[in-house]
Structure 1
Amino acid sequence: MKKVIIASTSTLHNGNYLDYLLPTLKNHFEKVKTLLFIPYARPSGISHDDYTRKVSEAFAQINITVKGIHEFENPKEALQNAEAIFTGGGNTFLLVTQLYKTEIIETLEKVVKNGTPYLGTSAGSNICGLTMGTTNDMPIVYPPSFNTLGFVPFNINPHYLDPIEGSTHMGETRETRINEFHHFNSQPVLGLREGSWLEVIGQKITLKGDLTARLFQKNETPVELETGSDLSNLN
């Protein structure tokens, strides 16, 4: 049975890394002693060790030890033996490229669908949808496929931003880009605002957090979803 948290972001304004999520994560990872962290969304030049250290400091507050997947000779085996898994933010194109390059994307999907607790933030949330096609990131590398993990039967747009009333910015809004996506793709897209997340327990998908989310479906008017909304039947 899946046990997944899909969060828009790792850090809120004026907050520390994962602070706002720690009460939820303490329950989500209730029996976990050691967590496996996937730092692949950051270029290796931005040290995976440093990124893992930052994650370790956050999880130490709820008495969980963190090990980076890059520390293991056999990443597939590390996933198979993991008590829990966290994929952090960065660039989704890079993350997905690395998941395919290291040949662990299928293993990651399998172990989480079989019940290993999972947390994703930002890029680590993008990959929880059907594809990475609604990421906000630049294509700095080219992955073999845009297909991702499918922990939910729709796409995620983390860091969703509404148009700013009175703004003179003439570029595309998030809504415009998602509408463009729907010219070529049929799956729904959930715009997750900062401070919101999805809790996935088995087949049940619930919106959590302090803010609403915005749901886009092809050829339909976008709708606001309140905290506590059930998205289990969305497809």
Structure 2
Amino acid sequence: MAAEFEGVTVVDHPLVQHKLTIMRDAETSTRGFRQLLRETAALICYEATRDLPLETVAIRTPLAPMQAKKIAGKKLVFASILRAGNGLLEGMLDLVPSARVAHIGMYRDPKTLQPVEYYFKAPEDLSERTVIAVDPMLATANSAVAAINLLKSRGAKDVRFVCLLAAPEGIRRFRAAHPDVPVFTAAIDSHLDDHGYIVPGLGDAGDRMYGTK
């Protein structure tokens, strides 16, 4: 992977790529898109949590006592960048149902492409938890950078970012602002168009997920 993409993991599992192709198809229904996004999010989350620390605990199986592994420390926090982030959030909660949830309300000004914050709610002890921020698209990265800035300002130290698609421009912008935050994505596409959309992409993830256009 090129040096500019260091810190970025492309989850190229066949199931992820298959589901992504169906989501890209303009003929895929709202229902189908939403379900596939949920399923793919769980698969990407699997990779994003691969290195979580473990501890050994004593348990008893139906047959014998044993020493077994479980995740150490406090529960994860999934930070959804509204509104499209909720599509990934649901799939990740399927995998880690005990995770805490933060919501970051931001929308992209269509003229300036800059993020406008309107809501933030998160657990108080972010500094003691692994925080995974989620948004389907890493396009200009303006919203993602602003969201991570906000999480860090509230104490988050161990932060990761999960998205469905990324553009090279967005990766460069994000990594320049937050080189300590690893990125997990299903694909890195060609480029951004004049409106800040990823090409070939899949359109507006929020609109396709909720049927609003």
**Normalising TM by the smaller chain, what interval?**
0.3 to 0.5
Determine which structure has the larger strand proportion and give its number. 2
Determine which structure has the larger helix proportion and give its number. 2
What's the TM-score, normalizing by structure 1? 0.37
What's the TM-score, normalizing by structure 2? 0.40
